[in-house]
Amino acid sequence: MTIWNTAVDKTGHLMDDMFTIALQTYKRPGQLNKTLEHLTAYKTSSLYEIVVAWNDNTTQPPNDFVGKNHVPVRFRVSEENSLNQKFLPDPKYMTQGVLLSDDDWNFNHTDIDWVFQQWRRSGMNRLTGPFARCWYNNEHDEAMYSLCSGKPDKYHMALTGLAFTHLSFLEYYWSNDPLMEKLRNYVDSKFNCEDIALNYVAILGQDIFR
Q: Is residue 150 part of a domain?
A: no
Q: How would you write the chain as a 3-class SS string? A: CHHHHHHHHHHCCCEEEEEEEEEEECCCHHHHHHHHHHHHHCCCCCEEEEEEEECCCCCCCCCCEECCCCCEEEEEECCCCCHHHHHCCCCCCCEEEEEEECCCCCCCHHHHHHHHHHHHHCCCCCCECCCEEEEEECCCCCEEEECCCCCCCCCCEECCCEEEEEHHHHHHHCCCCHHHHHHHHHHHHHCCCHHHHHHHHHHHHHHHCC
Query: Range of 176's domain?
Result: 2-130+158-204
Q: Is residue 10 part of a domain?
A: yes
Phi-psi category of 27—alpha, beta or left, where left has phi over 0 and alpha has psi -120 to 50? left
CATH number for the domain harbouring residue 55: 3.90.550.10
Which pLDDT does position 179 carry in this prediction? 95
Q: Is residue 66 part of a domain?
A: yes
Which pLDDT does position 123 carry in this prediction? 82
Asked whether the beta carbons of 129 and 162 are under 8 A apart, the reply is: yes
Q: Is residue 137 part of a domain?
A: no
Question: What is d(CA 115, CA 12) in angstroms, rounded to the nearest whole number?
Answer: 21
Is 102 among the catalytic positions? no
Mean pLDDT (10-residue bins), the chain, 210 residues: 78 96 97 95 94 97 94 97 98 98 90 95 89 78 75 75 96 96 98 95 72
Question: What is d(CA 25, CA 206) in angstroms, rounded to the nearest whole number?
Answer: 30
Q: Is residue 210 part of a domain?
A: no
pTM score? 0.91
Question: What is d(CA 125, CA 207) in angstroms, rounded to the nearest whole number?
Answer: 9
Which pLDDT does position 152 carry in this prediction? 58
Catalytic: which of 56, 102, 111, 195?
195
Q: Is residue 106 part of a domain?
A: yes
The number of domains in the chain is 1
Which pLDDT does position 53 carry in this prediction? 98
Asked whether the beta carbons of 165 and 127 are under 8 A apart, the reply is: yes
Which pLDDT does position 150 carry in this prediction? 65
Question: What is d(CA 115, CA 6) in angstroms, rounded to the nearest whole number?
Answer: 27
